[in-house]
Chains A and B, each alone.
Chain A
Amino acid sequence: MTSELYLLGFGPEGWGPVLARAGLMTLAVSLSAFLLGTMLGTLAVCGRVSGNALARRIAEIYVVVLRGVPDLLVIFLFYFGGRQVVAFFGTALGFEGPFDISGFAAGMLAIGLISGAGQSEVLRGAYQAVPKGTLEAGRVVGMTRWQLFRRVIAPQAMVTAIPGMGNQWQSVIKESALVSVTGLVETMRQVSIAAGTTQEHFLFYTAAAIIYLIITTLSDQVFRLLERRSMAGYAGASR
Protein backbone atom coordinates (compact mmCIF):
# COMPACT_ATOMS: atom_id res chain seq x y z
CA MET A 1 0.00 0.00 0.00
CA THR A 2 2.88 2.36 0.75
CA SER A 3 3.79 2.41 -2.92
CA GLU A 4 0.39 3.97 -3.66
CA LEU A 5 0.89 6.85 -1.27
CA TYR A 6 1.79 9.15 -4.17
CA LEU A 7 -1.94 9.08 -4.98
CA LEU A 8 -2.55 11.28 -1.94
CA GLY A 9 0.23 13.70 -2.84
CA PHE A 10 0.22 16.93 -4.75
CA GLY A 11 2.04 15.51 -7.80
CA PRO A 12 0.55 15.19 -11.31
CA GLU A 13 -1.31 11.99 -10.39
CA GLY A 14 -1.96 12.97 -6.80
CA TRP A 15 -5.41 13.68 -5.43
CA GLY A 16 -3.96 16.07 -2.82
CA PRO A 17 -5.28 19.38 -4.22
CA VAL A 18 -8.77 17.95 -4.80
CA LEU A 19 -8.90 16.48 -1.31
CA ALA A 20 -7.74 19.76 0.23
CA ARG A 21 -10.49 21.61 -1.62
CA ALA A 22 -13.01 19.00 -0.47
CA GLY A 23 -11.82 19.47 3.12
CA LEU A 24 -12.50 23.19 2.79
CA MET A 25 -15.97 22.39 1.45
CA THR A 26 -16.59 20.25 4.55
CA LEU A 27 -15.57 23.23 6.67
CA ALA A 28 -17.78 25.60 4.68
CA VAL A 29 -20.90 23.45 4.91
CA SER A 30 -20.24 22.69 8.60
CA LEU A 31 -19.66 26.31 9.48
CA SER A 32 -22.79 27.59 7.78
CA ALA A 33 -24.88 24.78 9.27
CA PHE A 34 -23.47 25.48 12.72
CA LEU A 35 -24.26 29.19 12.51
CA LEU A 36 -27.78 28.45 11.30
CA GLY A 37 -28.07 26.03 14.21
CA THR A 38 -26.94 28.70 16.65
CA MET A 39 -29.66 31.03 15.40
CA LEU A 40 -32.33 28.35 15.54
CA GLY A 41 -31.09 27.13 18.91
CA THR A 42 -31.23 30.64 20.36
CA LEU A 43 -34.76 31.09 19.00
CA ALA A 44 -35.77 27.74 20.50
CA VAL A 45 -34.41 28.77 23.91
CA CYS A 46 -36.28 32.07 23.67
CA GLY A 47 -39.42 30.07 22.96
CA ARG A 48 -38.82 27.68 25.81
CA VAL A 49 -38.15 30.29 28.47
CA SER A 50 -40.82 32.71 27.28
CA GLY A 51 -44.12 32.89 29.09
CA ASN A 52 -45.97 32.13 25.85
CA ALA A 53 -47.36 28.58 26.05
CA LEU A 54 -47.62 28.17 22.27
CA ALA A 55 -44.03 29.28 21.66
CA ARG A 56 -42.84 26.89 24.35
CA ARG A 57 -44.78 24.02 22.84
CA ILE A 58 -43.42 24.68 19.34
CA ALA A 59 -39.86 24.88 20.63
CA GLU A 60 -40.26 21.65 22.60
CA ILE A 61 -41.70 19.77 19.65
CA TYR A 62 -38.91 21.05 17.42
CA VAL A 63 -36.24 19.72 19.79
CA VAL A 64 -37.92 16.35 20.41
CA VAL A 65 -38.55 15.68 16.72
CA LEU A 66 -35.11 16.68 15.48
CA ARG A 67 -33.36 14.70 18.19
CA GLY A 68 -35.43 11.58 17.51
CA VAL A 69 -35.07 11.29 13.73
CA PRO A 70 -31.89 10.02 11.99
CA ASP A 71 -29.74 12.77 10.47
CA LEU A 72 -29.54 10.88 7.22
CA LEU A 73 -33.33 10.85 6.91
CA VAL A 74 -33.52 14.61 7.52
CA ILE A 75 -30.97 15.21 4.77
CA PHE A 76 -32.87 12.93 2.39
CA LEU A 77 -36.07 14.75 3.27
CA PHE A 78 -34.57 18.15 2.52
CA TYR A 79 -32.79 17.10 -0.64
CA PHE A 80 -35.28 14.78 -2.36
CA GLY A 81 -38.30 16.33 -0.65
CA GLY A 82 -37.04 19.79 -1.53
CA ARG A 83 -36.75 18.71 -5.15
CA GLN A 84 -40.28 17.38 -5.06
CA VAL A 85 -41.60 20.63 -3.62
CA VAL A 86 -39.65 22.78 -6.08
CA ALA A 87 -40.86 20.61 -8.95
CA PHE A 88 -44.45 20.90 -7.72
CA PHE A 89 -44.39 24.69 -7.60
CA GLY A 90 -42.24 24.90 -10.70
CA THR A 91 -44.71 22.90 -12.76
CA ALA A 92 -47.62 24.82 -11.26
CA LEU A 93 -46.01 28.08 -12.35
CA GLY A 94 -45.48 26.70 -15.83
CA PHE A 95 -41.72 26.19 -15.83
CA GLU A 96 -40.13 23.34 -17.71
CA GLY A 97 -38.32 20.65 -15.70
CA PRO A 98 -36.10 19.02 -14.70
CA PHE A 99 -35.83 20.73 -11.32
CA ASP A 100 -32.88 20.46 -9.02
CA ILE A 101 -31.83 22.07 -5.77
CA SER A 102 -28.38 22.68 -4.44
CA GLY A 103 -26.88 19.98 -2.27
CA PHE A 104 -25.12 22.63 -0.26
CA ALA A 105 -28.35 24.42 0.60
CA ALA A 106 -30.25 21.22 1.42
CA GLY A 107 -27.40 19.87 3.53
CA MET A 108 -26.84 23.15 5.31
CA LEU A 109 -30.55 23.50 6.13
CA ALA A 110 -30.88 19.90 7.30
CA ILE A 111 -27.78 19.89 9.50
CA GLY A 112 -28.49 23.39 10.76
CA LEU A 113 -31.94 22.27 11.84
CA ILE A 114 -30.54 19.17 13.57
CA SER A 115 -27.76 21.11 15.23
CA GLY A 116 -30.18 23.83 16.35
CA ALA A 117 -32.05 21.26 18.43
CA GLY A 118 -28.82 20.10 20.08
CA GLN A 119 -27.52 23.62 20.58
CA SER A 120 -30.77 24.73 22.18
CA GLU A 121 -30.21 22.16 24.94
CA VAL A 122 -26.73 23.54 25.58
CA LEU A 123 -27.87 27.15 25.40
CA ARG A 124 -30.81 26.55 27.70
CA GLY A 125 -28.49 25.13 30.34
CA ALA A 126 -26.24 28.16 29.91
CA TYR A 127 -29.16 30.57 30.19
CA GLN A 128 -30.33 28.92 33.37
CA ALA A 129 -26.85 29.33 34.84
CA VAL A 130 -27.02 33.13 34.45
CA PRO A 131 -27.45 34.56 37.96
CA LYS A 132 -31.00 35.90 38.29
CA GLY A 133 -29.78 38.95 40.19
CA THR A 134 -27.94 40.27 37.15
CA LEU A 135 -31.14 40.03 35.07
CA GLU A 136 -33.08 41.93 37.69
CA ALA A 137 -30.37 44.53 37.98
CA GLY A 138 -30.39 45.00 34.21
CA ARG A 139 -34.14 45.38 34.20
CA VAL A 140 -34.05 47.85 37.07
CA VAL A 141 -31.60 50.16 35.29
CA GLY A 142 -34.07 50.27 32.42
CA MET A 143 -32.53 48.03 29.75
CA THR A 144 -34.78 46.89 26.95
CA ARG A 145 -35.14 43.14 26.29
CA TRP A 146 -32.63 43.27 23.47
CA GLN A 147 -30.13 45.22 25.54
CA LEU A 148 -30.57 42.74 28.37
CA PHE A 149 -29.89 39.87 25.98
CA ARG A 150 -26.87 41.47 24.36
CA ARG A 151 -25.21 42.99 27.42
CA VAL A 152 -26.19 40.74 30.32
CA ILE A 153 -27.42 37.32 29.18
CA ALA A 154 -25.26 36.57 26.13
CA PRO A 155 -21.85 37.46 27.63
CA GLN A 156 -22.47 35.38 30.74
CA ALA A 157 -24.20 32.45 29.03
CA MET A 158 -21.51 32.23 26.35
CA VAL A 159 -18.90 31.33 28.98
CA THR A 160 -20.89 28.38 30.34
CA ALA A 161 -21.93 27.31 26.86
CA ILE A 162 -18.48 27.02 25.27
CA PRO A 163 -17.64 23.37 26.14
CA GLY A 164 -21.13 22.19 25.13
CA MET A 165 -21.03 24.22 21.93
CA GLY A 166 -17.66 22.63 21.17
CA ASN A 167 -19.30 19.21 21.30
CA GLN A 168 -22.10 20.42 19.04
CA TRP A 169 -19.56 21.70 16.53
CA GLN A 170 -17.82 18.31 16.53
CA SER A 171 -21.14 16.62 15.79
CA VAL A 172 -21.82 19.02 12.94
CA ILE A 173 -18.48 18.18 11.30
CA LYS A 174 -19.23 14.47 11.48
CA GLU A 175 -22.81 14.92 10.27
CA SER A 176 -21.53 16.93 7.31
CA ALA A 177 -20.15 13.67 5.88
CA LEU A 178 -23.76 12.64 5.29
CA VAL A 179 -24.28 15.59 2.95
CA SER A 180 -22.27 13.56 0.43
CA VAL A 181 -25.54 11.77 -0.44
CA THR A 182 -26.72 14.95 -2.18
CA GLY A 183 -23.73 14.84 -4.49
CA LEU A 184 -22.08 17.89 -2.91
CA VAL A 185 -18.36 17.38 -3.38
CA GLU A 186 -17.12 17.58 0.20
CA THR A 187 -14.53 15.28 1.77
CA MET A 188 -16.64 12.13 1.86
CA ARG A 189 -17.95 12.47 -1.68
CA GLN A 190 -14.53 13.34 -3.10
CA VAL A 191 -12.95 10.39 -1.34
CA SER A 192 -15.61 8.02 -2.66
CA ILE A 193 -14.93 9.27 -6.18
CA ALA A 194 -11.19 8.86 -5.71
CA ALA A 195 -11.58 5.39 -4.20
CA GLY A 196 -13.81 4.31 -7.07
CA THR A 197 -11.46 5.67 -9.72
CA THR A 198 -8.24 4.24 -8.31
CA GLN A 199 -9.72 1.14 -6.64
CA GLU A 200 -7.66 2.06 -3.57
CA HIS A 201 -10.57 2.08 -1.14
CA PHE A 202 -8.68 1.58 2.08
CA LEU A 203 -6.09 4.22 1.28
CA PHE A 204 -8.65 6.88 0.46
CA TYR A 205 -11.03 6.18 3.32
CA THR A 206 -8.05 6.33 5.66
CA ALA A 207 -7.20 9.68 4.11
CA ALA A 208 -10.78 10.80 4.78
CA ALA A 209 -10.47 9.69 8.40
CA ILE A 210 -7.27 11.70 8.72
CA ILE A 211 -8.85 14.81 7.18
CA TYR A 212 -11.73 14.62 9.66
CA LEU A 213 -9.33 13.96 12.54
CA ILE A 214 -7.34 17.05 11.60
CA ILE A 215 -10.47 19.18 11.49
CA THR A 216 -11.88 17.83 14.76
CA THR A 217 -8.57 18.03 16.62
CA LEU A 218 -7.82 21.56 15.48
CA SER A 219 -11.28 22.78 16.38
CA ASP A 220 -10.96 21.12 19.76
CA GLN A 221 -7.86 23.23 20.36
CA VAL A 222 -9.68 26.37 19.26
CA PHE A 223 -12.55 25.72 21.65
CA ARG A 224 -10.11 25.05 24.49
CA LEU A 225 -8.42 28.34 23.79
CA LEU A 226 -11.80 30.10 23.75
CA GLU A 227 -12.69 28.46 27.01
CA ARG A 228 -9.50 29.69 28.63
CA ARG A 229 -9.92 33.19 27.22
CA SER A 230 -13.53 33.47 28.30
CA MET A 231 -12.67 32.41 31.85
CA ALA A 232 -10.05 35.16 32.10
CA GLY A 233 -12.34 37.51 33.96
CA TYR A 234 -13.10 34.99 36.67
CA ALA A 235 -10.87 34.94 39.72
CA GLY A 236 -8.57 31.97 40.06
CA ALA A 237 -9.58 30.44 36.75
CA SER A 238 -7.13 32.25 34.52
CA ARG A 239 -4.60 29.45 34.46
Chain B
Amino acid sequence: MTNHFELFGLAPSFALDAGALDRAFRELQAQVHPDRFAQAGDAERRASMQWSTRANEAYRLLRDPVERARYLLELHGVDTGFDTDTAMPGDFLARQIELREALEEAKHKRDVAALEAMKRGLAASSRALQAELASRIDRAQDYAGATGAVRQLQFLKRLAEEVDAAGDFD
Protein backbone atom coordinates (compact mmCIF):
# COMPACT_ATOMS: atom_id res chain seq x y z
CA MET B 1 0.00 0.00 0.00
CA THR B 2 1.51 3.30 -1.08
CA ASN B 3 1.29 6.27 1.25
CA HIS B 4 -0.69 9.40 0.36
CA PHE B 5 2.34 11.24 -1.02
CA GLU B 6 3.37 8.29 -3.19
CA LEU B 7 -0.20 7.96 -4.44
CA PHE B 8 0.22 11.40 -6.03
CA GLY B 9 3.87 10.91 -6.96
CA LEU B 10 4.96 13.66 -4.56
CA ALA B 11 7.95 13.79 -2.25
CA PRO B 12 6.80 13.62 1.39
CA SER B 13 7.26 17.13 2.77
CA PHE B 14 5.30 19.64 4.78
CA ALA B 15 5.98 22.51 2.38
CA LEU B 16 3.94 21.10 -0.46
CA ASP B 17 3.43 22.62 -3.91
CA ALA B 18 -0.36 23.05 -3.88
CA GLY B 19 -0.49 23.30 -7.67
CA ALA B 20 1.37 20.02 -8.11
CA LEU B 21 -0.96 18.32 -5.64
CA ASP B 22 -4.03 19.67 -7.47
CA ARG B 23 -2.71 18.49 -10.83
CA ALA B 24 -1.80 15.03 -9.53
CA PHE B 25 -5.20 14.63 -7.89
CA ARG B 26 -7.06 15.56 -11.05
CA GLU B 27 -4.96 13.28 -13.22
CA LEU B 28 -5.50 10.36 -10.85
CA GLN B 29 -9.26 10.96 -10.64
CA ALA B 30 -9.39 11.19 -14.43
CA GLN B 31 -8.15 7.58 -14.43
CA VAL B 32 -10.14 6.07 -11.58
CA HIS B 33 -13.37 8.06 -11.10
CA PRO B 34 -16.63 6.01 -11.23
CA ASP B 35 -17.86 8.19 -14.12
CA ARG B 36 -15.15 6.53 -16.24
CA PHE B 37 -16.60 3.11 -15.46
CA ALA B 38 -20.35 3.66 -15.73
CA GLN B 39 -20.41 1.04 -18.50
CA ALA B 40 -17.91 -1.38 -16.97
CA GLY B 41 -18.53 -4.65 -15.15
CA ASP B 42 -19.33 -4.82 -11.44
CA ALA B 43 -15.77 -5.67 -10.44
CA GLU B 44 -14.31 -2.69 -12.25
CA ARG B 45 -16.97 -0.39 -10.86
CA ARG B 46 -16.18 -1.55 -7.34
CA ALA B 47 -12.43 -1.11 -7.85
CA SER B 48 -13.06 2.33 -9.30
CA MET B 49 -15.12 3.44 -6.31
CA GLN B 50 -12.41 2.25 -3.92
CA TRP B 51 -9.61 3.99 -5.80
CA SER B 52 -11.58 7.17 -6.23
CA THR B 53 -12.52 7.17 -2.54
CA ARG B 54 -8.87 6.74 -1.66
CA ALA B 55 -7.77 9.58 -3.94
CA ASN B 56 -10.35 11.90 -2.37
CA GLU B 57 -9.26 10.97 1.14
CA ALA B 58 -5.55 11.43 0.38
CA TYR B 59 -6.21 14.78 -1.31
CA ARG B 60 -8.34 16.06 1.56
CA LEU B 61 -5.67 15.08 4.05
CA LEU B 62 -2.67 16.49 2.18
CA ARG B 63 -4.41 19.77 1.42
CA ASP B 64 -5.02 20.52 5.09
CA PRO B 65 -1.84 21.74 6.87
CA VAL B 66 -2.82 20.23 10.24
CA GLU B 67 -3.72 16.85 8.75
CA ARG B 68 -0.68 16.88 6.50
CA ALA B 69 1.69 17.57 9.40
CA ARG B 70 0.01 14.95 11.54
CA TYR B 71 0.27 12.40 8.73
CA LEU B 72 3.97 13.15 8.12
CA LEU B 73 4.68 12.69 11.82
CA GLU B 74 2.73 9.45 11.79
CA LEU B 75 4.81 8.21 8.83
CA HIS B 76 7.85 8.75 11.04
CA GLY B 77 6.31 6.95 13.98
CA VAL B 78 5.46 10.08 15.99
CA ASP B 79 2.00 10.42 17.55
CA THR B 80 0.75 14.00 17.58
CA GLY B 81 -1.22 13.17 20.71
CA PHE B 82 -4.41 15.09 19.84
CA ASP B 83 -6.44 12.75 22.01
CA THR B 84 -4.00 12.03 24.82
CA ASP B 85 -1.78 15.03 25.33
CA THR B 86 -3.59 18.28 25.99
CA ALA B 87 -0.74 20.16 27.65
CA MET B 88 0.03 23.48 25.94
CA PRO B 89 2.48 26.26 26.76
CA GLY B 90 0.98 28.69 29.24
CA ASP B 91 1.40 31.81 27.09
CA PHE B 92 -0.25 30.11 24.11
CA LEU B 93 -3.23 29.06 26.25
CA ALA B 94 -3.54 32.52 27.76
CA ARG B 95 -3.60 34.01 24.24
CA GLN B 96 -6.27 31.48 23.20
CA ILE B 97 -8.47 32.43 26.13
CA GLU B 98 -8.11 36.11 25.25
CA LEU B 99 -9.05 35.39 21.64
CA ARG B 100 -12.10 33.38 22.65
CA GLU B 101 -13.29 36.18 24.90
CA ALA B 102 -12.80 38.63 22.05
CA LEU B 103 -14.79 36.31 19.77
CA GLU B 104 -17.70 36.14 22.21
CA GLU B 105 -17.72 39.90 22.51
CA ALA B 106 -17.61 40.46 18.75
CA LYS B 107 -20.42 37.94 18.29
CA HIS B 108 -22.49 39.64 20.96
CA LYS B 109 -21.94 43.09 19.43
CA ARG B 110 -22.23 41.79 15.87
CA ASP B 111 -18.94 43.51 15.23
CA VAL B 112 -18.00 42.46 11.68
CA ALA B 113 -14.82 44.56 11.64
CA ALA B 114 -13.56 42.90 14.83
CA LEU B 115 -14.29 39.44 13.36
CA GLU B 116 -12.41 40.34 10.18
CA ALA B 117 -9.44 41.56 12.24
CA MET B 118 -9.45 38.30 14.21
CA LYS B 119 -9.49 36.32 10.99
CA ARG B 120 -6.47 38.20 9.68
CA GLY B 121 -4.65 37.76 12.98
CA LEU B 122 -5.32 34.02 13.05
CA ALA B 123 -4.19 33.64 9.44
CA ALA B 124 -0.91 35.39 10.25
CA SER B 125 -0.28 33.20 13.33
CA SER B 126 -1.14 30.15 11.29
CA ARG B 127 1.36 31.13 8.58
CA ALA B 128 4.08 31.58 11.18
CA LEU B 129 3.38 28.14 12.65
CA GLN B 130 3.42 26.59 9.19
CA ALA B 131 6.81 28.15 8.49
CA GLU B 132 8.05 26.70 11.77
CA LEU B 133 6.66 23.27 10.82
CA ALA B 134 8.32 23.35 7.39
CA SER B 135 11.61 24.11 9.05
CA ARG B 136 11.27 21.46 11.76
CA ILE B 137 9.84 18.68 9.61
CA ASP B 138 11.46 19.21 6.21
CA ARG B 139 14.82 20.69 7.12
CA ALA B 140 15.65 19.59 10.68
CA GLN B 141 13.65 16.34 10.49
CA ASP B 142 12.82 16.94 14.13
CA TYR B 143 9.47 15.09 14.09
CA ALA B 144 9.03 14.71 17.84
CA GLY B 145 9.84 18.40 18.28
CA ALA B 146 7.10 19.36 15.79
CA THR B 147 4.16 17.97 17.77
CA GLY B 148 3.66 21.11 19.85
CA ALA B 149 3.40 23.32 16.76
CA VAL B 150 0.95 20.88 15.10
CA ARG B 151 -1.31 21.01 18.14
CA GLN B 152 -1.15 24.80 18.22
CA LEU B 153 -2.04 24.90 14.52
CA GLN B 154 -5.03 22.67 15.25
CA PHE B 155 -6.19 25.11 17.96
CA LEU B 156 -5.96 28.01 15.52
CA LYS B 157 -7.86 26.08 12.84
CA ARG B 158 -10.74 25.35 15.25
CA LEU B 159 -10.87 28.95 16.35
CA ALA B 160 -10.79 30.24 12.76
CA GLU B 161 -13.77 27.98 11.97
CA GLU B 162 -15.66 29.47 14.91
CA VAL B 163 -14.82 33.01 13.82
CA ASP B 164 -16.10 32.14 10.34
CA ALA B 165 -19.33 30.68 11.70
CA ALA B 166 -19.82 33.73 13.92
CA GLY B 167 -20.16 35.88 10.80
CA ASP B 168 -23.65 34.50 10.15
CA PHE B 169 -25.99 36.70 12.06
CA ASP B 170 -29.25 35.27 10.81
- A is bound by B: no
- Report which A residues bind B (CB closer than 8 A): none
